[in-house]
Chains A and B, each alone.
Chain A
């Protein structure tokens, strides 16, 4: 009897565990099963990756502008997120005993759980407050001067910003990424034994040397993981972009409304048109493959020790 309960109970746990992971396969299978034929139907892989999104009457189309927007905003957001998140993680991980470090740790933990839509709204609100002055005083003259020096193409990147633009989107993504990077970095630094730290000081290293140079080897891998997982996370974020990048269907300057693949999926899936839903599935397959690739690299990088 006792053995029967044992086996049944363990089987229950196993069933629950498998049930929790099973939807992942259903989702990946469904998206690829419908997404890859969708890409072929809409004009093949090349057309799909570079073409303009279809409208309800067209037969072919792609996600070109959206892919460009996603790559640009994700790269910028990841850079900003790393530049700010990494020092925060170093601080939380190395100076654990300070009072302020506890506050910083709590704030990171709160920020990582913050609904991402409120972060998008926050950036939108800050930007509406700041926009006019920044454009008139800072960016307008700057882009005039740069356009004179470098040529007119600069205006595509720097210039008076419209209400919705790629930089607001990238900032929102950066705020989403900061706590991820900080938490991974912090746990990597916290796991370094104190003896290594003391060894660094004992050979006359400054604080900077001990934190960045001696521990470089120990945390490089963790930092790489944090960067890749964080990038994978923000590449698929939609909610923070709803009010910051807003979405666009043409190749447009980054100073104006910018398209993103997740925004297109969100918009196209909710329309009643068949061709748009098909393209949403194709876009989802592309996005899924990007995220899977980043995730796989991150996992392989941590595995070899």
Chain B
């Protein structure tokens, strides 16, 4: 049975490449379908593997916070809430930064420095995530712990952050990592503002700052599109988050200054033990299915916003 699957893949790619050199249009169409096939197969396969636990518990898998392998009880709510908290904080920090990057590159820097600044921003996106994780674990985490506790003591709240690895650390790290993705989209929109619009704004006596604000409002579709793309990144980011999030599977928490867990880090950290339990693999695939479906939905929104926007 499965050998047919492999033969199908080999046959598919072979015929795509043969067509490519004979009837190019059809070859290109056939090979472009690879993406659609991958996405469809991914969702179907995840649903199939996750089926046992979905059949046993229904949607309760996503709605209870109890993660207790010895009793074969798996709830993903902790991770879901952790994902929402971290990505919300990350987005709130990353969006102003991304807008700042776009404005800095397009308006403020001298022409020669723009390319360099843009390249630095691209490099921030291209850095391996595991290096972010390493840095977050040994540099950012302890630093944040000190800083937050100093501020909290000054406000009279006591020591709020008891460990260097918390949901908050993960959020800050995520904010640094997703800023360039949002910035790239905003930069793209910013460059599209027509010259005559800009001249019209200056002509009514606006200062440069006011012009920037008007132009940002003019491209707000791109700003929202960038926001959703960055949100998708923030929710799916795995390794860096798993290293600094604290790995707290058991206890439900809404406090960002405590250790927590996100969906993707739950999968990364628990998969090694999963084979030993009956329902853990299905539970983790259910979590991955949720992640994939949410990811597709967020991207659909982003693509819709970006395609509807005309500057």
Contacts and interface: CB of A to CB of B under 8 A. Distances in A.
A91 B207 contact: no
A20 B5 contact: no
A21 B120 contact: yes
A95 B20 CA distance: 14
Given A24-B123, A109-B299, A239 B35 contact: no
A133 B1 contact: yes
Contact of B212 (A10, A116, A211, A229): A10
Contacts of A130: 2-3, 5-6
B271 interface: yes
Residue among A9, A21, A277, A291 having the largest count of chain B Cβ atoms under 10 Å: A21
Nearest to A126: B45
B303 interface: yes
B121 to A, nearest CB: 6
Interface stretch (B150-158, B196-204, B229-237): B229-237
A68 interface: no
Interface residues of B, number: 93
Contacts of B238: 115-117, 238-239
Contacts of A3: 207
B77 interface: no
B32 A30 contact: no
B124 to A, nearest CB: 5
B14 interface: no
Contacts of A103: 36
A26 B139 contact: yes
B118 to A, nearest CB: 10
Contacts of B299: 109-110, 113
A107 B100 contact: no
Interface in B33-87: 33-36, 38-39, 41-42, 45-46, 49
Interface residues of A, number: 92
A5 B183 contact: no
A137 B271 contact: no
A131 to B, nearest CB: 8
A194 B127 CA distance: 36
B208 A6 contact: yes
29 contacts: A10-B107, A13-B108, A17-B108, A20-B124, A21-B101, A23-B124, A26-B135, A30-B139, A87-B32, A88-B31, A101-B32, A110-B295, A113-B295, A114-B39, A115-B238, A117-B238, A118-B42, A118-B288, A119-B42, A125-B49, A129-B5, A130-B2, A138-B3, A236-B130, A238-B130, A242-B271, A265-B130, A280-B134, A295-B126
